[in-house]
């Protein structure tokens, strides 16, 4: 039996942990407490034993593939197709599995994606956030189910994702979920659209609560109010449309000072407040999710199918997809064209401390606001 082949695609034993909650090594990796008891099934799954508590369990226990009857290759293929925007039926045809397998796996990977996000996305440091909502349908074409998200425009990392009716409760869930994942919730600028709930909820969720003193010594205390620290601000970008076209963009500095907003814009490399990062994310999310495609019969029959697909797409976007507009230093020249200096407008070259040249590359966009976004530098040292 060839055991080395299976372990190549599976995590190393040292990165796994005991799943027995009563064990002293529960959930702790790198304790060298796991041994391989046997290898079973067509996929050669490792059956593990914990030396501390004696528990025996499959390496798939508590993973998205736990209890999956189809071959691992097919299950992975289903998940990949779903994240590429294939519909559930199309995925079933392409991966050659029964449609019920796709429905079940979609729900499982979605649940795991949400749990993974919840565990990993904690104490995030940001200088700015952009929030927006995407329209979609669940059950039938008359029932809207919106996806609302908050993104960090600097790293293009999506911090929060919620789904439901587009109302105050949805925006509250979105902002509260965002706030609890941040390292410093009072040192940022939030850019949103003109939705009124953002403006009304922002002080309560991000500001500092205080009790105003009552007039005289009797009667009930006034309602709690909220103070906005100097390092916190909220800007609304209100677009007026005539038909499909945006004819006017108005800026509302709703909370916080303009100086704070200006400082953050400089850090981001933007000239004006905008929501370009989340709008690009909207486009990507629509391509990655069959239930979010515009002008089609792309609704999901069940709410939870759409929620799961949303979470799965988000997790793939956050953790598995390189973002083209994030410029990364390359080890060597980038392709044949790079030898022609005349064509190098899209490359940034500077000398690093070690004397080697580092390259940031990015494509220019014709839209000035998007270009601002693309050309924003990860840190000010690069400009020197």
- Give the interface with Zn ion as residue ranges (CB under 5 A): 18, 20, 23, 25, 50, 52-53, 55
How do beta strands 347-351 and 245-255 pair? unpaired
Least distance (Å) between residue 50 CB and Zn ion? 3
Q: How far is the CB of 55 from Zn ion (least distance, A)?
A: 5
Least Å from the CB of residue 118 to Zn ion:
24
Nearer to Zn ion, 14 or 118 (CB): 14
- Least distance in angstroms from the C-beta of 115 to Zn ion: 21
The smaller minimum CB distance to Zn ion, of residues 28 and 352, is found at 28
Nearer to Zn ion, 53 or 179 (CB): 53
Give the shortest CB-52-to-Zn ion separation in angstroms.
4
Nearest to 311 by CA among 116, 114, 150, 171: 114
- CA 149 – CA 284 distance, rounded (Å): 13
Q: Give the burial class of 330: count Cβ atoms within 10 A of its Cβ; 0-12 exposed, 13-18 middle, 19 or more buried.
A: middle
Residue closer to Zn ion, measured from CB, 18 or 254: 18
Of the pair 52, 377, the CB lying nearest Zn ion is at 52
| Tokens coding 47 | 């059956």
21 versus 248: smaller Cβ distance to Zn ion: 21
Shortest Å, Cβ 47 to Zn ion: 14
CB of 18 to Zn ion, least distance (A): 3
Long-range contacts of 109-115 (CB under 8 A, 24+ apart): 109/64, 109/79, 109/82, 109/308, 109/312, 110/304, 110/307, 110/308, 110/309, 110/310, 110/311, 110/312, 111/64, 111/308, 111/311, 112/63, 112/64, 113/308, 113/311, 113/312, 113/314, 113/315, 114/311
- Residue 66 beta carbon to Zn ion: minimum distance, rounded to whole angstroms: 17
**What are the tokens at 154?**
């600097």
DSSP-assigned letter for residue 130: E
The alpha-helical segments, DSSP class H, found in 23-98 are: 72-83, 88-95
Q: Which is nearer to Zn ion, 53 or 330 (CB)?
A: 53
Establish how many alpha carbons lie within 13 A of residue 315's alpha carbon, considering only the half-sphere containing its beta carbon.
22
If the CB atoms of residues 17 and 129 are measured against Zn ion, the closer one turns out to be 17
Describe the strand order of the beta sheet including 45-50 as a list of residue ranges. Answer: 34-40, 45-50, 56-58
Quick check: 377 and 269 in contact, CB under 8 A?
Answer: yes
């Amino acid at each position: 039996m060839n055991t080395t082949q299976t372990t190549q695609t599976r995590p190393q034993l040292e990165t796994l942990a005991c799943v027995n909650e009563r064990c002293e090594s529960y959930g702790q990796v790198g304790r060298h407490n796991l041994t391989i008891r046997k290898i079973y099934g067509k996929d050669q799954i490792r059956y593990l034993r914990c030396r501390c508590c004696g528990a025996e369990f499959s390496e798939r226990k508590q993973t998205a593939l736990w209890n999956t009857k189809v071959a691992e290759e097919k299950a992975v293929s289903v998940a990949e197709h779903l994240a590429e925007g294939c519909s559930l039926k199309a995925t079933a045809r392409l991966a050659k599995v029964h449609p019920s397998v796709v429905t079940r796996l979609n729900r499982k990977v979605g649940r795991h994606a949400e749990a993974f996000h919840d565990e990993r996305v904690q104490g995030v440091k940001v200088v700015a956030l952009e929030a927006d909502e995407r329209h979609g349908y669940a059950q039938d074409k008359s029932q809207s189910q919106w996806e609302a998200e908050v993104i960090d425009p600097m790293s293009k990392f999506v911090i929060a994702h919620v789904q439901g009716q587009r109302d105050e409760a949805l925006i509250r869930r979105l902002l509260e979920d965002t706030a609890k994942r941040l390292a410093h919730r009072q040192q940022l600028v939030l850019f949103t659209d003109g939705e009124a709930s953002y403006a009304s909820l922002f002080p309560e969720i991000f500001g500092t609560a205080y009790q105003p003193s009552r007039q005289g010594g009797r009667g009930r205390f006034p309602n709690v109010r909220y103070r906005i620290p100097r390092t916190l601000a909220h800007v609304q970008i209100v677009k007026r449309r005539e038909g499909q076209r945006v004819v006017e963009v108005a800026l509302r500095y709703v909370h916080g000072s303009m100086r704070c907003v200006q400082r953050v814009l400089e850090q981001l490399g933007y000239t004006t407040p905008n929501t370009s990062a989340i709008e690009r994310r909207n486009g990507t999310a629509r391509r990655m999710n069959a239930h979010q495609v515009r002008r089609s019969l792309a609704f999901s029959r069940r709410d939870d199918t759409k929620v799961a697909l949303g979470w799965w797409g988000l997790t793939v976007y956050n953790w598995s997809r390189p973002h083209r507009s994030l410029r990364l230093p390359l080890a060597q020249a980038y392709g044949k064209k790079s030898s022609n200096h005349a064509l190098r407008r899209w490359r940034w070259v500077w000398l690093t401390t070690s004397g080697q040249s580092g390259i940031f590359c990015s494509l220019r966009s014709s839209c000035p606001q998007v270009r601002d976004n693309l050309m924003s530098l990860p840190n000010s040292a690069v400009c020197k």
